[in-house]
Amino acid sequence: ISSMRDGGQTAACVRIQRGMCVCPAGTVAGIGVEGVTPARGGPAGRGGGRGLRRFEEIPHTGSSGWLNLVKFWREDRFKLLHKHMERTFNTLGPIYRERLGTQSTVNILLPSDISELFRSEGLHPRRMTLQPWATHRETRQHSKGVFLKNGAEWRADRLLLNREVMMAPAVRRFLPLLDEVARDFCRLLATRVEKEGGKEERGHSLTIDPSPDLFRFALEASCHVLYGERIGLFSTSPSQESQKFIFAVERMLATTPPLLYLPPRLLWRLGAPLWTQHATAWDIIFSHAEKRIQRGVQRLRSTQAAGGGSGGAEGEFTGILGQLMDKGQLSLELIRANITELMAGGVDTTAVPLQFALYELGRNPAVQEQVRGQVKAAWARAGGDAHKALQGAPLLKGLVKETLRLYPVGITVQRYPVRDIIIQNYHIPAGTCVQACLYPLGRSRDVFQDPERFDPGRWGTQESGEGAGGGGGFRSLAFGFGARQCVGRRIAENEMQLLLMHIMLSFRLSVSSSEELSTKYTLILQPETPPRITFSTL
């Protein structure tokens, strides 16, 4: 918050009494594309001289949430929700309201407006509760992790978790485990390319859909960091249990969006097929995690009984589970809840961005060579130290940020302001769900110069000269912001950067010029059809 105060941005978070917001500004009229209802003359910007406008005057997509929901289902818009948001901003301007079933939101995309939103998030920031997930925990009598908690209870648990997953000492502890998995992945891929690929002048090449391998990599890396053990997904015959887990995560994500706008407890009581699919997927996820946790608990207790700590021999790091148990500040039930959430959120959310990153590197050879050159130089200077190599290759961080700018895993970040605020000259009452829409943000010409161009180097200047959107650092929000940002952020960032580093050291990537990538939304943004990548040995 202090950085926002000192960053030269003028605060516009004025406390307003609701009864004093009546201004004779433009009225809502007319029906635009796809049933959207714009305000006459378009939305006024802050400081535009029109005077404060009422909440009800914010342009909207229709006043009936249930009619909107039926239209979404009939036209299969959930699958293209990111495109729907982009089209609606293009039609209505930088702010609009939307009602879908039981949910009502205000959607924004300019960094300056997002900055205003985060100024008012309060000590206990709230985001939209994924009610289907919460209902599953309640009906199955599972404890909730920090993802589903709010208030003081959330803050207490989150501060304890931060020490083991977010702080710099924690990152240095688990980085070698991620690096081990990334190296193994590239060694096995190189062997496969040489065995199955065609011979070329400078080596071998093989064209594949890497997505199944990337999902296995993400699960193997997550298990190694969380439980301190490898689960053998790189073997010639990976376990059916792990494959079942990956499928369950995909099914859970796919069934979440339509359930967000319906009363899940009613669907649970009715035994609705959509709810049954969702709950069964979560049951498989919990079962997989519980087996791993039980195995880890038994191993750690045996180590402690033999006179060692959870760190193993000579302080060896044996996973976040062991660290949390050793500290003893969270109950085992809460550790289970949070480890399971980290597991469920740690597969698709890294495997899918890696698909996009490889695709963009393959179709941008100049960018690929620039990244590879920096990685090679950093690797040589680091002498095999992965942490030093990452520090010496900032383009890897830029590569991840640029990938997530164009293909954000989650397409919105939500907050409920704790006080009344003003955005685009509209009064927004405290407690309103306001969401920053990341897909249109990342592709907006008002925010980024040449937004369709894939350029990891653009992040080296902190985007200081780009666009008119203002808002300082609020252009990159794929992991959220502030105290409520993604708790697995450091794991995911380093996992992706390490794998991309080793791929750059081992392979040259290319894609067919006819390889077009379309996207779909199933709670995360992913390719409609996974891209085929050609890996050529260096």
Contact 439, 80 (CB under 8 A): no
Amino acid letter for position 184: D
DSSP string, 161-213: HHHHHTSHHHHHHHHHHHHHHHHHHHHHHHHHHHHHSEEETTEEEEEE--HHH
Residue 184 burial class via C-beta count within 10 angstroms: exposed 0-12, middle 13-18, buried 19 and up: middle
Distant-in-sequence contacts of 386-391, Cβ < 8 A, 24+ apart:
386/175, 386/176, 386/179, 386/498, 386/501, 387/172, 387/175, 389/501, 390/494, 390/497, 390/498, 390/501
CA–CA separation, 220 vs 394, rounded Å? 25
Amino acid letter for position 481: F
Cβ neighbours, 10 Å, residue 287: 14
Taking only Cα atoms into account, the Rg of the chain, rounded to an integer number of angstroms, comes to: 24
Q: State the DSSP code for 39.
A: B
Is 13 annotated to bind a ligand? Reply is no
Alpha helices in 47-167 (DSSP H): 65-74, 81-92, 111-119, 131-139, 151-165
Contacts of 208 (CB under 8 A, 6+ apart): 532, 533, 535
Find the angle CA(118)-CA(456)-CA(373) to the nearest 5 degrees: 145
DSSP string, 121-147: --SS------HHHHHHHHHTTPPP-GG
**Residue of 163, 126, 159, 129 whose CA lies nearest to 144:** 129
What tokens were used for 134? 């919460």
CA torsion sign, 165 to 171 to 175 to 177?
A: negative
Residues making up the annotated binding site are 486
Residues making up the annotated binding site for heme are 486
